[in-house]
Amino acid sequence: MPEKNTYPVQLMQPDGRRVFDRAHVPLVADIDGDDLRTLFTDMTVARRIDTEATALQRQGQLGLWPPLLGQEAAQIGSVHALHPDDYVFCSYREAGVAYVRGVPPEQLTRLWRGVAHSCWDADAVKMTNPAIVVGAQGLHATGYAYAAHLEGSEIATIAYFGDGATSQGDIAEALGFAATWGAPVVFFCQNNHWAISAPVRTQSPTPLANRALGYGIPGVQVDGNDALAVLAVTRQAVIRARSGGGPSFIEAITYRMGPHTTADDPTRYRTAAELELWQRRDPIDRMRRLLEREGLWDSAFEQQVTAVSDDVAKRLRSATLALPDPEPMELFEHVYSTPHRLVEQERREYADYLEGARS
């Protein structure tokens, strides 16, 4: 346990005022006005992607969607700390991360519409597809990071997961392996306070970042609604990983303002007062206030952000509605990389079933 009280790293207050943090301000000293505007734009686009996809699900065009509303700073701040050759292992909520890594909006919903096994080409953007098995990506990130280290590649991997995943055995095993073998992986926990209907206090009575200390891994809490602070601590962890320093654990304290997925009703387990409290800490509003304070906000920039967001939303919606239904027999493609007897048997049986259904 820390010898004294520690507080989440914060470089920007909710009203947009800067916070001087001697240890972390230098990590973002190169971030100029254009960079701040880019962060704001990407956060706004991430929210628009989320809004559009949620609307598509409500209209029956997607089977499911996991909203990221309220977590834009955690996602955009962290992904901007990565190098192009670093590899991202996501959970199922990182649409904002995917957008910044270069995934076209047209590819974000294919899996969620139920017409494909995946959304995008993982190797093309160095980011895996949504991982539905909670916590499994921690092991994948650790194994990939260690393999890259053995090959002499000076890269980092980052594993995104939520507070609920910290109670999964996969994350515990990943932390143990990463610590023992010095794997260059960044464990990035988006603590959004709710694992579906279970509050974070049921995961741990102490900060989740403290769990990393038991494995000998440095852990840090950061204000997850502060994009600058998230960028700083993630840069620090990435530098450590890429330079041979081993793994790090980041707990980004944020809040899921929407449902866990579009199949969830959060009003059944949390209060309106709690939601209102976190709405006042909205990460996008915070970044806008910083821009206004520093003379970086004007109507021309606002119109530019709106235009970019509208274009992304239009592309996402149009592509989603145009996605063709797959042929039934395509279900058996891309299951294994080589022929498999069981799959071939199932293919024949399903073909017979379809033939019988048509006759």
Which residues are catalytic, by number?
256, 260, 269
CA gap 109, 99 in Å, rounded: 12
Which spans in 243-332 are helix H? 272-279, 283-293, 299-322
Query: Which pairing describes strands 194-195 and 185-191: parallel, antiparallel, or unpaired?
Result: unpaired
Q: How far is CA 90 from CA 5, 117, 129, 264, in A?
A: 31, 16, 7, 21
CA gap 124, 346 in Å, rounded: 32
**In sequence order, what are the residues at sequence separation of 6 or more whose Cβ sits closer than 8 angstroms to the Cβ of residue 253?**
8, 191, 221, 222, 223, 224, 225
Q: Is 153 exposed, middle or buried (0-12, 13-18, 19+ CB in 10 A)?
A: middle
- Count the helices and strands in the chain (H runs, E runs): 13, 7
Contact 111, 334 (CB under 8 A): no
- Per the rule left: phi > 0, alpha: psi between -120 and 50, beta: everything else, 188 is beta
Contact 66, 57 (CB under 8 A): no
Q: How far is CA 215 from CA 1, 178, 204, 247, in A?
A: 12, 9, 16, 10
**In sequence order, what are the residues at sequence separation of 6 or more whose Cβ sits closer than 8 angstroms to the Cβ of residue 354?**
328, 329
CA gap 295, 316 in Å, rounded: 32
**In sequence order, what are the residues at sequence separation of 6 or more whose Cβ sits closer than 8 angstroms to the Cβ of residue 213?**
1, 219
The residues that bridge with 291 in the sheet, in sequence order, are none
